[in-house]
Structure 1
């Protein structure tokens, strides 16, 4: 039954012992305290969970005025904006969103459509550099001079980081403007070159001698097998480390000897098929025997979870500091495999499939072949070279 002003006037400001909540329509209703304080509220679902938004008190907000607000907050919800954040921004200057508010709203809306690793990367960057920037300040009140000073401070540590944070800020602010959470900001006029530098494209290609040294250093390490084997598998396959860490036993078909990276774990959002070579199989069998987990590389202390990238990066930093070779990263294994195999005559479309890249042009549309046999031959050649170098009995490529 719909509410009326006559009904609410009879309750307002008087002792009340009736139901704590009375419904109107379209999710609108009132909450009533024992002393007769009446507050309008709107019920809705946000990310699958029941939520409510307080719209104001009666009689400041009469029945007709409260009902007139519902299409507005419904439109915010339909546009992917949390109605509570929208209302906070709309009603008071003090409630205008901060950088942290906008970042969290962005993640709330975008996270369901992104890969977990991408969300984790966003959260890590926001937590490190943005959540505590200009605390409590409405984002629309931050001047361009203040933004420039902020980025200049980041650039003192790393110009690449400053440039990356500007790109994040501009993407988030554009998103917030499109959803009418904020107005256009002056910071959106800045370019990466104004405050920092773009990220560098890596060019490090390891030699076989260096690969052998890294493998032997891994064997000396006291890290857990799960961490050690993930780095070795990355060197042998040229796969993205995330593809290995998120792999489960069911991704490996031992009858056809094919490893399929499902689209949810693929950067390109399409499945990747690679042959399982004897060298990789040896690592897989050791992992499955040691841990008995559904994850190929489970976390050391929690076998129900996959190994985290932080553990791998920590190991790489530790062994890198002990080695007398130029700086390298685990991602360099991909460039190394592709370069060294190309030098050995392996065709580009084969190495591209080994790396999990999508072929360009017409081939991407019509050619769905994975060249598994050619991949297997190339992988065997590479593994023989690497393991031979580990044992010290192979000529350099």
Structure 2
């Protein structure tokens, strides 16, 4: 039976020997002590377990007022937020989340739906800049001038980093607002140009003599074979280094000579199929003969794990320092493959497939063809171009 103010007034502040809990509706009810103290509570299930949330006392909160709270709290639950956490933030300033609180909540609740590499980027940025910013201060109490000072301090070292941190802050704050953890913030009005600079789009395209020099330096290197081979495979295939390092033997079908990058290893969240060229096959066969591992490029000292990108970047820095050519990085290999093959007549849709890109417009929706034969021909052309003239 639903509760009424008249019924609760008759109980309030008097010795009480009835049921300790009385139900109203929609999970709302009251808990009554033997002394007649009445507390509103809402019953719900969180992660499969029965829970209850105290939302106030009677008569501070009348029956109609208590009922009006339930849709708000139920909506929070349906959005995947623990109502107890939300209520604490809503009712006490001490419980209002700090920037670190919402960063941690983001990593806990959002991370399972993201790729490990993306989570690692967020975690690194949070550790370096956000976890220790504005310690103990509720994020809703941070003024615009404080935000600007914060980003300006980062911009003194790097305007690009300041812009990147603003993007991170806006992403997690918008997420927290949608989850009803916080209300709207002034910082969301800022643009990257207000506090820093956008990251630069690379434009470095290697010449073939430069590619030949890089391969020669790799051959002279005394680094671990798997690190050297991963860089060579990156140049020969035009694949992302992450796709290579996460590749397993099972991804390479030597019968059809096709390498399939699983969706979980692809930046586009779609499988990528490429032909296995002779150069790539030679590298893979050497790797498989040297390392008894499911990974094609295992860590040298722990074959049960894939090689880390830090080891690859370390070798890139070492050989780059010995070379008399302009600055380059691994990602430039992809731009070089696309540009140089276009120069010799390879069609754009073929090079896009070689790079693992999603085709634009209507083609992305209706055309699922991978052009493997055309890719194979283009890779043969690429191999010839990478071979130094005798």
Q: TM-score normalized by structure 2?
A: 0.83
Partner of 1:301: 301
Q: Tell me, which stretches of 5 or more residues in structure 1 are unaligned? A: 11-21, 31-39
Contact 1:274 1:372 in 2 (8 A): yes
Q: Which residue of 2 aligns with 1:119?
A: 119
| Paired position in structure 2 for 1:313 | 313
Task: Indicate how the Cα distance of structure 1 residues 229 and 190 shifts in structure 2: closer, same or farther if over 3 A, else same.
Answer: same
> Any residues of structure 2 matched to 1:245-260 within 5 Å, and which?
245-260=245-260
Q: Tell me the distance in 1 between the aligned counterparts of 2:50 and 2:210.
A: 57
Residues 115, 264 of structure 1: 8 Å contact kept: yes
Write out aligned runs for 1:310-349 (5 A).
310-349=310-349
1:163 aligns with 2:193: no
Once the two structures are TM-superposed, the CA of residue 308 in structure 1 deviates from its matched residue by: 2.0
Matched, 1:95 2:82: no
Does the 8 A contact of 2:247 with 2:261 survive in 1? yes
SS in 2 for 1:274: strand
Query: 1:181 Cα deviation (Å)?
Result: 1.0
CA distance in 1, matches of 2:28, 2:283: 57
Aligned partners of 1:29, 1:242: CA distance in 2, in Å?
Answer: 56
- How far the C-alpha of 1:315 sits from its partner, in A, is 2.0
Mapped to 1, the partners of 2:292 and 2:285 lie a distance apart of 10
Q: TM-score, normalised by structure 1?
A: 0.82
Correspondence list, 1:109-258, <5 A: 109-258=109-258
Partner of 2:77: 77
Provide the secondary structure at the position in 2 that maps to 1:157. coil
1:22-33 → structure 2 map (5 Å cutoff): none
- 1:104 equivalent in alignment to 2:111: no
Does structure 1 retain, via aligned residues, the 8 Å contact 2:46–2:82? no
Moved runs in structure 1, 4+ residues, more than 3 A?
24-30, 40-46, 49-62, 64-75, 82-85
Tell me if the contact between 1:88 and 1:95 (Cα under 8 Å) persists in the aligned partners. yes
- Residues of 2 paired with 1:27 and 1:276: CA distance? 63
Unaligned runs of 5+ in 2: 1-7, 32-40
Aligned residues: CA RMSD: 3.5
Give SS of 2:212's match. helix
Shift of 1:338: 0.6
**How far off its partner does 1:225 sit?**
2.0
Distance 1:58 1:211, change over 3 A: same
Matched residues in 2 for 1:42 and 1:103: separation?
Answer: 28
8 Å contact kept, 1:27–1:43: no
Comparing 313-322 with 135-144, greater Cα deviation is found at 313-322
Residues of 1 paired with 2:290 and 2:60: CA distance? 66
Task: Judge conservation of contact 2:27–2:42 (CA < 8 Å) in 1.
Answer: no
Cα distance in structure 1, aligned partners of 2:107 and 2:266: 21
Alpha-carbon distance between aligned partners in 2 of 1:346 and 1:51, rounded to the nearest angstrom = 62
Do 1:261 and 1:272's aligned partners in 2 also have CA atoms closer than 8 Å?
A: yes
Alpha-carbon deviation of 1:44?
A: 4.6
Q: 1:384 is matched with which residue?
A: 384
For residues 239 and 66 of structure 1, the distance between their equivalents in structure 2, rounded to whole angstroms, comes to 59
Paired with 1:300 and 1:84, the residues of 2 have a C-alpha distance of 48
* Alignment match, 2:5: none
